[in-house]
Structure 1
């Protein structure tokens, strides 16, 4: 799933683009919507998006300045310009600054679908290429360790190879930890590449005892190296890559848990407000309403609104049992103007009406 940040000072346009984007692409999810460039940079400071769709003319910081800052702070993150016809000259400036495409307002579904397909394909291919480049750079940067691998294989010093596997895993772990802010969009692709190569290389071939590996030219023949793989060290390296997958997923899970806690804390603190709605909750945590709702349901198994109703019904039960408030007063205190509707919700939640519960507890 590719996450998109939408930047436009018009709430109507932000809402329309969000709905249209998520309707047109199964791969796209709008994870945030903000009103200007400064808000966008604040949002990106502690959240992640794969793509930014931005208006040109906005207060505080316009779209051109935003595109320039995104390219400086988050190289490789593409931007799409959404502009009016009379702003087309600005759109061309945005393309010069690094935007990958533009859309004219009012945005047509077919145009948005075309641009999204093209841009997401570009992101996918760029990410795969970047992951391979990162792997190559990493191997070059740590050539001494790679040379040790070659030397051990060359001289059949298999007994020390497990130690090199451990060294390599530690190196990978340090690299992932220190470069997580860069790796976040590439890490899974990179580790899949590593694990995939290891799986492909681990074919079971037998090496007759005393056979010369023939590494005089420091070139490791693929089938010769495979013979070593039967010793099990590469299995450990592959398992280690799996642990790195888990570590990266753990970082993502921590971020998700933090978001869930913020949503729940906000709902508990504001549950009695009549005007409370999903958009307010989404604004509080800094994500789009759709993305927040999707993630909350995925993590908790229930909707944000159902969770809020649960809080309200628990408060209603406590007030019924520990106060002399009338039913309509309890309903009003919990944000319900209609006591009949409140009673129906209560019965759906507890299997009995508020009056029935109160009578049962008094028996």
Structure 2
């Protein structure tokens, strides 16, 4: 059973699509309806939303921005875009963010339901299987067609020695243009099989191919990239941006890398039932820095040794120590406490701000959203957004019991656009509505 979130600032459209889905016979558990991007994000953070169906043009937060925020909060969320605008730019942006389809209003009911049905069919969760069943399933699912060995060798040689004498000859073969680059690495966490022995070499090769297949399916058509085998059964990904794409200030590149890393991890885990660690480098200009970026991605993966309950690492989160020596455990604890304290102080000052985002808080703490979420939970016991909601609810309760402010005034003061949506959140949190508490 799946949960679907419908988002449109036109209530009649939400009502019509909701009725259509409710009577469709599809495997749907709950249908949520939101009339703004901010309201939608509360559902995504607080409910188990599987599929987001959103309009493009909606008030302060567009459907494109909503998709980006949703992917940052929950990489597994799938999305379908509906729009009155048959614009290539919108469609291109939506597809880059992983939209499964871009539908034009007025919607054809049959086409809409077919699109939703197809997305849900591909979202079936993989059941737990034995080692032999898992390998047999992979063998059936993926046809072993080895990637171009010449190109793979050229890419690995460039990562190893981008300034070498052969680099000039290898670059055209590797199809790299840049001039801006980042490197990601995916390292499967291969556990012993049920029989207590390690995976045979042929099985490891199949696992590496399956991870490459999942990565390419996520990247193709959305990213300018080269994905290929690397030693130790890793997958390396070189991302590249031209001057125009890198100069687009509407997209925060670090947030984009963070979102991609978490999506790769989520997809490998979901479709292959395989844990993996993802290491992400910073971004540099010039192909001669590929070696440095490759080493950054390798080091990022090694951070998993100290943080075994975390799986996606951005090198920039750990490059704060200017000293030549490795940071001691005590220095790391102090630094982590500073990150979380900075985040808490910012949240306490801004929790009533409409449109407050995890990315905004992370920017104040100078770390990626993914790493801030991990540290915040580890240090405080709260998910970061749960902490924001806690402060909002405590303040609204105080205002209800100690002032004569109206519901819409309180909703506005604690960061909610809609009084109705505020009431839903309040009742979910306290078990009573604002009006019942007032009485």
Normalised TM-score (structure 1): 0.40
Higher strand fraction (1 or 2): 2
Higher helix fraction (1 or 2): 1
Normalised TM-score (structure 2): 0.34
Q: Point out the structure with max Rg over C-alpha.
A: 1
